Amino acid sequence: MQRSFSSLSPQHTIAIHQVVNMLLGLEEDDAKLMVLRRAGIPPAMLESDLARVTQSQFARLMSALTRHQRDEFWGLGSKPLPLGSFASCCRMLVGYQKIGDALRAGLRYYHAILPDFVPRLRVGNGVAYLRLTALVSLSPKQTYAVRVFLFLSYGVMCWLAARRIPVDEVVYQESEVVRRSDASRLFQANIRMSESEWGFRFPAKWLELPVVQNLQSVEEFLQQAPECLLVKYRDQASLTERIRRLLRRYLTQEMPSLEVISDILATTPQTLRRRLQREGQGYQLIKDALRRDVAVQYLTQTEMPLLEVAAKVGFSEASTFHRAFKGWTGLTPGAYRQAHNEPLEVEALV
C-alpha cells in the first residue's frame, strides 16, 4: 500500500552486509531465497555491497531465520541455541532490582548454554566492561554470532532501565568489520580494535540504575522483539540525532554548512567535529545517510516519480540524484525500486 508523504519519517536503514552475515548459517541457496522472501527482502539486493534494508525487513529476517532454523542464533553457532532461551532469560531478569545484578545474572545464564564464547562483566576504576572471549577458533559465522550477542545484550540492558545507557567504547576484533559495520552508529561510540576479544565499555555508575520492567512489561517486550531492540532506545539526545533532526528541514534544498549548524547549536565547528568523532560520525556522513534513508523510503513505500523523489531529497537534476544514489547503495533509483517491486512472500511477525 502506498504511503503518503506526511506519514513518512526518516528512519535509519541497515547495511546489506548485515543481511549477508545473518544468512551464513544457511547452506542451501533455496533456503536463503525462502527466508529472504519471508522477510520481504528482494534477493537482488544482495548483489550490491552498498544496498540497504529497512529496520522492519531486518527484524522480519531475524524472526524468519529463527523459525526456519529452530535456533535463536540462526545456525551461526556450533550448536543451536534452544528456542525460548531469550524469553526465559528476560523473564528472569525482571526479578532483579538493579541493572548490574540483572546483567550479571543474564551473562551467567548464557555462559551455561553458549558453546563458542564466554560473556563476562568486569568492573574497575569506575568503568564497566562487558567482554566476550572465544572458547575456540571462530569461523566467520561464529564471529558474527558474537557481535549479535553483544548488540542484543546492550539492547536488553537499555530495555531493563527503560533508557539508553551511554557507551564510551566498542571493542571489535577485525578491522574489516569496522569499515562495514553499523556498530559505531548503533552504540554511538568509537570502535577500538583488539586481537582477542569483543565488548563495550560504559560508566559503572549505570549498573546502579533500577530495573523498571516487570512480568507484565516483559510479555509486551517479547511481542515486539526483536524490532524494538533496533530502534527503541536510540539516543534522541545524541549530537548525531540532533543534527539529523535539524537537517530534515533542509531536505528539499541545499544543506547548511557545518559552520551554520555550529551556530544553531551554539558551539564551534571544531568542538562539533570532535563531538561527532566521539560518536563515530562525521557531518558529511550524516547528510548523506539522511538523504539516502529518505530516498530509500520513498522508492520502496510510495509510487512517487523518480524526479519527484530526487527533489524531495534535495536534487534538482535527476542525473545527479541517480549518481548519488548509486554511490550510496550500488544501484540506480529505478533498479532499487524495481527490485522491491518483485513479488515477495512477506510473512508477518508472530
Q: How far is CA 126 from CA 204, 205, 273, 344, in A?
A: 5, 7, 27, 50
CA-to-CA distance for 18 and 311, rounded, in angstroms? Answer: 30
Q: For 93-114, what is each residue's pLDDT tens digit? A: 999 999 999 999 999 999 999 9
Q: Let me know: does 92 contact 48? Beta carbons within 8 Å.
A: no
Q: What is the pTM of this model?
A: 0.74
Beta carbons within 8 Å of 235's beta carbon, 6+ residues apart: 164, 166, 188, 241
CA-to-CA distance for 222 and 266, rounded, in angstroms? Answer: 41
CA-to-CA distance for 224 and 228, rounded, in angstroms? Answer: 6
Query: What pLDDT is recorded for position 297?
Result: 86
Alpha helices, DSSP H, located in 131-225: 140-161, 175-180, 183-187, 215-224
Q: How confident is the model at residue 231 (pLDDT cuts 50, 70, 90)?
A: low
What would the mean pLDDT of 72-97 be, rounded to a whole number? 95
CA nearest 120: which of 151, 95, 143, 153? 153
- Look at residue 38 and give its three-state secondary structure: helix
Q: For 284-302, what is each residue's pLDDT tens digit? A: 989 998 999 999 889 888 8
Query: Which amino acid makes up residue 228?
Result: C
Domain boundaries, the chain: 5-69+239-278+282-340, 85-231
Q: In the CATH scheme, what is the homologous superfamily, with its name and number, of domain 5-69+239-278+282-340?
A: Homeodomain-like (1.10.10.60)
Q: What are phi and psi of 150, to 5 degrees?
A: -60, -45
DSSP-derived letter for residue 12 is -
Comparison of pLDDT for 10 and 344, the residue scoring more:
10
Burial class for 187, CB neighbours closer than 10 Å (0-12, 13-18, 19+): buried
Going along 135-280, which residue ranges are E strands? 169-172, 190-193, 198-203
Q: What are phi and psi of 190, to 5 degrees?
A: -70, 155
Is pLDDT of 348 > 50? no
Q: Let me know: does 292 contact 331? Beta carbons within 8 Å.
A: no
Strand partners, 193: 172
Q: What percent of the chain has pLDDT over 90?
A: 51
Q: For 110-151, what is each residue's pLDDT tens digit? A: 999 999 999 999 999 999 999 999 998 899 999 999 998 998
CA-to-CA distance for 102 and 247, rounded, in angstroms? Answer: 39
Query: Which amino acid makes up residue 316?
Result: S
Query: What pLDDT is recorded for position 315?
Result: 92
